[in-house]
Amino acid sequence: MEECCALAINPYKDGRVVHETPNFFVSAALGSMGLPGYVLIVSREHFIGTGDMPPELHRELDELMQQTRGVLRNRYGRDTFFFEHGPRVGRCGWGGCIDHAHVHAVPGVDITELFALDLLRNLDETDLFYRVDRLDGFQRAVDIYDKRETSYVMVQRPQGERLFSEVNFPGESQWLRKLIAMQLHSSQWNWRAHPYRERAMQTAEELAGRF
């Protein structure tokens, strides 16, 4: 089974799904780096990223993100940082290691400043660029993906500001997870090497029935 398909199936097999809507589900994430409440919002149907989803699903995803934010705040007393690594487009692939639409929801962190500094660090050749827009919704991701020339990264700060960064150069696998690990003074950013399965199952138990 391809890994992208496993992302939509394994959480059900493992018992990590804590909530479902018609087109998405929320599951406790593997590779939480020990953080309680780290979850993924995953599309049921296969899309390569939010930029590949039909616009009629955007409102449902937005509402689910806000619901998830409230549930995590009530359970853990912390606000949530959301992010999406954009899909691989040509040589551009910003951190995504699995091309199936999913948004990370991580309570208690905010790596926006590290994110901005690291974007600058990656401009190490001529003709490289990034563009950051603060926008609601997901239409910006659609516009970027539809061109098939660049990719994007989406981050949403705990205060609710959503930023889309269009990039025309490749990024490291699990890039934003590495930045979270840096903020936590941890080296265990790789979810395959450090799955934290017990923590994931504990998160699933803690969130059961709270949506």
Mean pLDDT of the chain: 91
Edge-first strand order for the sheet with 162-167 is 17-20, 24-28, 39-43, 102-107, 80-85, 151-156, 162-167, 130-134
Note the pLDDT tens digit of each residue in 131-169.
Answer: 999 999 999 999 999 998 888 999 999 999 999 999 888
**For tokens 């962190």, what's the residue?**
109
pTM: 0.94
Identify the residue with better confidence: 66 or 89.
66
Question: For residue 102, which of 43, 188, 45, 167 has the smallest C-alpha distance?
Answer: 43
Question: For residue 7, which of 56, 63, 47 has the smallest C-alpha distance?
Answer: 47
Note the pLDDT tens digit of each residue in 85-124.
Answer: 988 765 555 545 578 999 999 999 999 999 999 988 888 7
